[in-house]
Chains A and B, each alone.
Chain A
Amino acid sequence: DGGITQSPKYLFRKEGQNVTLSCEQNLNHDAMYWYRQDPGQGLRLIYYSQIVNDFQKGDIAEGYSVSREKKESFPLTVTSAQKNPTAFYLCASQRRGGELFFGEGSRLTVL
Chain B
Amino acid sequence: GESVGLHLPTLSVQEGDNSIINCAYSNSASDYFIWYKQESGKGPQFIIDIRSNMDKRQGQRVTVLLNKTVKHLSLQIAATQPGDSAVYFCAEIYNTDKLIFGTGTRLQVFP
Contact = CB atoms under 8 A, between A and B. Distances in A.
Interface in B89-111: 89, 91, 93, 96-97, 99, 101-104, 106
A96 interface: yes
Contacts of B2: 44, 60, 62, 83-84
Contacts of A97: 32, 93, 96-97
Nearest to B103: A42
Interface string B1-35: 11001111000000000000000000000001010
A42 B89 contact: yes
A99 interface: yes
A97 B94 CA distance: 8
A40 B43 contact: no
A83 B1 contact: yes
A103 B43 CA distance: 6
Given A31-B97, A103-B43, 17 more contacts: A41-B104, A42-B8, A42-B103, A43-B44, A50-B97, A60-B2, A83-B1, A83-B2, A90-B43, A97-B93, A97-B97, A99-B34, A99-B49, A99-B91, A101-B46, A102-B44, A105-B42
Nearest to A9: B41
Nearest to B34: A99
Size class of the B contact interface (CB-based, 8 Å)? 20 to 34
Contact of B5 (A44, A90, A92, A96): A44
B2 to A, nearest CB: 5
A73 interface: no
10 contacts: A31-B97, A38-B5, A40-B7, A40-B106, A42-B102, A88-B41, A90-B44, A96-B97, A99-B91, A100-B91
A104 interface: yes
A42 B9 CA distance: 11
